[in-house]
Amino acid sequence: MNLFSSQKPPGWRPKLVLASASPRRLALLEQAGLKPDALLPSDLDESPLKGERPRDLARRLARAKAEAGLAGLKGRPDLESAYILAADTVVAVGRRILPKAEIVDEAAACLRLLSGRAHRVYTGVALATPAGTIRERIVETRLRFKRLSNEDIENYLASGEWRGKAGAYAIQGIAGSFVVKLVGSYTGVVGLPLYETVNLLGGEGFPIRLGWLNVG
């Protein structure tokens, strides 16, 4: 069955669910003219498995979030045949995976490790389609931070911006001034690589341009 046949009323589109509570991912989606019909965040254990590589962790968690979103559709006839979009971001120095910092000491350790050196950000994107398939992408971005002074670190910690962020920083905020070099996807570092996400949706038949009408 063609979801987008001429039998559909003008302006109709399938439902889109974002399997995340992240305001950053929601804002990025809306930036691309894509407004989700519902948010279905999951409560997963995001701890890496023993010996798991950063890339594999990002891919596994993104897929697990999409699968949890699928499970969350049960009993939701209003979201029947929805597309479910999920993502996860992992910051790593070599094979060392940095935590999503929740306490000051943890954040301080991350910032000292990142100071003056290169690191990588892996963002996994998973899309569950109405046909029941799950499509995936993994996006790698390389960054280098300036050498952070003790004053830089202390004041950034005082800002609280790092809390809950992978690697203890938010590139879209104050920490953007720490970045000397970035090769890859800026939006991927924020939390959702827009180029890959939009192409993934479009490739699976979602009308990605419908929301561009009357933007602004």
- 87-134 confidence digits (pLDDT tens): 999 999 999 999 999 999 999 999 999 999 999 999 999 999 998 899
- Among 47, 85, 90, which residue's Cα sits nearest to residue 69? 85
pLDDT band at 214 (very low <50, low <70, confident <90, very high): low
* 2 belongs to a structural domain: no
* 5 belongs to a structural domain: no
* 6 belongs to a structural domain: no
Run of H or E including 180: strand 179-183
* 105 belongs to a structural domain: yes
Look up the CATH number of the domain holding residue 91: 3.90.950.10
pLDDT on residue 210: 81
Residues taking part in catalysis:
88
pLDDT on residue 6: 42
For residue 62, the enclosing domain spans 16-212
Domain count, the chain: 1
* 38 belongs to a structural domain: yes
Q: Which long-range CB contacts under 8 A does 130-134 form with residues at least 24 apart?
A: 130/3, 130/14, 130/81, 130/82, 130/83, 134/63, 134/66, 134/67
